[in-house]
Amino acid sequence: MSQPKVDNQTDFVAEPHTLVDRDGERLTVIVKATFEHAPGPPRGVDGSFRVAPKARRRPIRGADIPWGDPAKSSILYPSDLCVRKPATDVIVVAVARAPGGEPVPSFDAGVRLGRVQKVIRVTGPRLWVHEGDAMTEPRPLAELPVRWEKAFGGRDDGDPENVVEEPANPLGRGVLASLAGLDRSAAPQLEDPSAPIQTARSRPKPVGLGPIGRHWEPRRKHWGTYDKKWIETRAPLPPSDFDDRANQAAPPELIASPMLVSGEEGALTNLSIGGGTLSFVLPRVKLELTFRVKGRDPEIVRPALDTVVLDTLVLPRESVGEGAPPGPIASHLVVELVWRASVRAPRSANDATIRVEEVRS
């Protein structure tokens, strides 16, 4: 299949994709920069970022990468494919680590980047008791993967006539049609420190820092109406009531609007090796894309930064499947920065040329 020519003048990955939008096909170019943080003493405060060498540059992901079995696992790394995002996703891929590395019953962890921030409480293993009205005391722990399976939530479809679900996290712990079935089962280990979980009956809000599922709330309500009318009048285009907010994969508290611009100050607390706070400043990058399509005037776009992935996990590729980054590497933090721009798709991909370059302002 032919592809437009991409004149990429950067050290980043740039790929063209023809994607379906509400009004037809769009030629969309997605650009991803991968940076590795070189920590400085004492905990990265004086550290800096460097562009990842070619072998470790993150690919454009064509699909969500799960933590494990795709049928029953939350998202580890989100897909990059979409035409646009109206705000900037800030996504954290991490293992929470107790301060100093010594096991403790609970500790707080969190992220701050520019105007957005979120703190979660991490607890050791504990069990539901008294039909979900209480939990055992948490046992000490030193680290915990920050994934939605460890938070409140769940889905019980044992009775098709009485399906019970937490729409913000169908994979979590605590939701059953009969709470008597919770006794001695695993309780959540991630919670809001300002509203600690007391009972499953209170239906506490699930908390996390990683990508949320495409069919979870609040993304679910933005996909639009796929009904008989859509089949007859619009398919394969998205529904007329499709909302671009469906493409936002970050938890609501970590969606930045107005969008981030790069160069923002940030910090990760108890989410990197050794615990403690890792402070950093995002690399400052400005891009310009020039689309030249046969029979049209050139279109110049300076895209907004719409996705930031802060990754302190850096799992080897073979442990999470195709599309995951290679590793491990000698870095406490790897950052993905993603931009995208699009124009009306040409009749033939050979009719388009795209130039990607960095600009000073």
* pLDDT given for residue 40 in this prediction: 57
* pLDDT given for residue 322 in this prediction: 47
Alpha helices in the chain (DSSP H): 228-233, 317-320
Residue 86: HSE in the Cβ half-sphere, 13 Å Cα cutoff: 7
Query: Is 300 or 318 the better-scoring residue by pLDDT?
Result: 300
Q: Among 26-40, 99-113, 293-307, name the one with the lowest average pLDDT.
A: 26-40
Q: Average the pLDDT over 217-243 and give the result.
A: 95
Burial of 316 (0-12, 13-18, 19+ CB in 10 A): exposed
* Closest CA relative to residue 22, chosen from 88, 87, 84: 84
Contact 130, 181 (CB under 8 A): no
* pLDDT given for residue 39 in this prediction: 61
* Closest CA relative to residue 78, chosen from 86, 89, 69: 89
Q: What does the pLDDT look like over 256-278, one tens digit per residue? A: 999 999 999 999 999 998 899 99
Torsion of CA 349, 353, 359, 361, to 10 degrees: -70
Question: What pLDDT band is residue 321 in, cutting at 50, 70 and 90?
Answer: very low
* pLDDT given for residue 2 in this prediction: 77
Q: What are phi and psi of 162, to 5 degrees?
A: -145, 60
For the chain, give every domain's residue range. 5-94+211-358, 120-208
* pLDDT given for residue 139 in this prediction: 98
Q: Which distant-in-sequence residues (6+ apart) come within 8 Å of 303 by Cβ?
A: 31, 287, 289, 339, 340, 341
* pLDDT given for residue 13 in this prediction: 98
Beta-strand runs (E) in 224-348: 255-256, 265-269, 277-281, 287-293, 299-301, 305-311, 334-344
Q: What does the pLDDT look like over 129-186, one tens digit per residue? A: 999 999 999 999 999 999 999 999 999 999 998 999 999 999 999 999 999 999 999 9
Residue 350 has pLDDT above 80, yes or no: yes
> What is the rounded average pLDDT for all residues in the chain?
92
Q: Quote the pTM value.
A: 0.92
